[in-house]
Amino acid sequence: MSIFVDNSTTLLVQGITGRDGSFHARQMMEYGTKVVGGVTPGKGGQMFEETVPIFNTVAQAVAATGANTSVIYVPPPFAADAMMEAAAAGVKLIVCITEGVPVLDMTKVYPYVKEMGARLLGPNCPGLITPGQSKVGIIPGRICMPGPVGVVSRSGTLTYEIVNLLTKAGIGQSTCVGIGGDPINGTNFIDALAAFEADPQTKVVAMMGEIGGTDEQEAAEFVRTQMTKPVVGFIAGQTAPPGRRMGHAGAIISGSAGTAAEKIEAFEKAGMGIAKRPMDFVELVKARL
């Protein structure tokens, strides 16, 4: 078992002929992900790597392949439309890797995707991987191995660091999910935690948060009230200086919320294990398995 992606995932790559899209499409295919189609307007009818058909639109691709998942590697000005196009075509899981999507675009994308009944991961995220089954995005496959730990993180490379430490210590993962660091993202910590709670393979969850916002505090409250499985947490930015103020409104909306100290306190209150250093995850997770 796993969450969000597995052997039944059939994937479209939006932007498959671009520099990043083609590189990562190849990497995903090598990993064993079922890449069933690509989308690049104007290149419909061509083949990618001689095996993957390319379509002009997501709707055509879905009609021809029945894909249930799409991953987006298109440049920022086109990313919002790409996400909505996937949702309109009936794709159920949309993973947007693109970094630099304007937040005002996301205020429109988020409600639309929700209305279409799709799940969005990202934007500005590394995607997700269920080791041994399916990789959607850019998480390096070779640092992962199948096992009982659910991983959810706001960061990219920090996630790799911790997954790598776990794997080296012989501790595998059920699914690793990078939710992305943008202010508005499709899937948050609570969504992933709820899915891990319901997943029989997952025994322990490792969660990596960052300073800013209140997502981690809300996640901690969810852990306290709704979860039976142990969770180990880390907050990056414990020593970051207070950010340059965003005028009065920033202070008003967040109050004192968003500091590392406050988030760690919320973790403690929820009875979570707290990793002070990335390497602490190994012992803390091991003790809870």
Active site residues: 248
Q: Quick check: helix, strand or coil at residue 210?
A: strand
Minimum Å gap between C-beta 126 and other proteins is 7
Tell me which of 88, 190, 236, 274 binds other proteins, using CB under 8 A: 236
Minimum Å gap between C-beta 100 and other proteins is 5
Q: Is 287 in the site for other proteins (CB under 8 A)?
A: no
Which tokens belong to 76? 């920022």
Which tokens belong to 30? 């090598």
Q: Is 139 in the site for other proteins (CB under 8 A)?
A: yes
Contact at 8 Å (CB) between 12 and 38?
yes
Q: Is 132 in the site for other proteins (CB under 8 A)?
A: no
- Residue among 62 and 84 whose Cβ is closer to other proteins: 84
Q: Cα(25)–Cα(37) distance, rounded to whole angstroms?
A: 10
Residues 254-283 within binding reach of other proteins (CB under 8 A): 255, 276-279
Q: Cα(19)–Cα(7) distance, rounded to whole angstroms?
A: 27
Angle at 266 between CA 175 and CA 151, to 5 degrees: 10
**Could you tell me which stretch among 7-15, 50-58, 209-217, 222-230 binds other proteins (CB under 8 A)?**
209-217
Contact at 8 Å (CB) between 65 and 53?
yes
- Residue among 104 and 228 whose Cβ is closer to other proteins: 104
Tell me which of 170, 250, 261, 269 binds other proteins, using CB under 8 A: 250
- Residue among 32 and 102 whose Cβ is closer to other proteins: 102
CB atoms within 10 A of CB 63: 13
- Residue among 42 and 247 whose Cβ is closer to other proteins: 247
Tell me which of 35, 61, 84, 138 binds other proteins, using CB under 8 A: 138
Minimum Å gap between C-beta 272 and other proteins is 18
Contact at 8 Å (CB) between 225 and 28?
no
Size of the site for other proteins (CB under 8 A): 59
Q: Cα(142)–Cα(238) distance, rounded to whole angstroms?
A: 30
Q: Is 211 in the site for other proteins (CB under 8 A)?
A: yes
Question: How far out from the chain centre does Cα 282 lie?
Answer: 21
39 phi and psi angles, rounded to 5 deg: -130, 120
Contact at 8 Å (CB) between 69 and 92?
yes
**Could you tell me which stretch among 59-67, 85-93, 222-230, 240-248 binds other proteins (CB under 8 A)?**
240-248
CB atoms within 10 A of CB 204: 23
CB atoms within 10 A of CB 10: 17
Q: Cα(76)–Cα(70) distance, rounded to whole angstroms?
A: 16
Tell me which of 13, 52, 118, 154 binds other proteins, using CB under 8 A: 154
Tell me which of 59, 184, 190, 274 binds other proteins, using CB under 8 A: 184
Name the residues that contact other proteins, by CB under 8 A: 20, 76-77, 99-104, 106-108, 110-111, 126, 138-140, 143, 153-161, 164, 181, 183-184, 208, 210-211, 213-215, 234, 236-241, 245-253, 255, 276-279
